Amino acid sequence: MADLTPQEAAERIITTAKTLLGDVGTEKDAIYQIYADKLVLDVLDYCNREDFPPALVYTCADLLFKREQDSTSDTQGLKKVKMDDTEFEFATATASPGTAADADFATIRNKLNLYRKLRWN
């Protein structure tokens, strides 16, 4: 399978992620496009490449799927619930610098290293 252009990679990532999500609508396509474009450019930059390895489509689609699932979680950011005299406080990690996308990207770096090209200056 030949390597993909950045545009082809983003389209395949979106198609695969939408299949995983069971999303047949188009109302979130613009959001998916922005995330997929950023992800493709981050991968190309990290790997020092101009073409996108097809095997990474599924890896990136998984990240888009995870990001969408996390954003629809009803308890996102919930730390404490109190009703009358009963209170529940959930263990929460301290905030770390960077964005959720940066943290997600860090989880795939080992796989990206398989496709990384050396840069000669």
Q: Where are the domains of the chain?
A: 6-115
Copy the structure tokens of residue 79.
Answer: 């730390």
Copy the structure tokens of residue 119.
Answer: 């840069």
**pLDDT, averaged across the chain:** 85
The alpha carbon of 14 is separated from its chain's Cα centroid by a whole number of angstroms, namely 11
pLDDT the model gives residue 6: 96
Share of the chain above pLDDT 70, in %: 82
As a whole number of angstroms, the distance between CA 112 and CA 19 comes to 23
Say if pTM beats, i.e. exceeds, 0.85: no
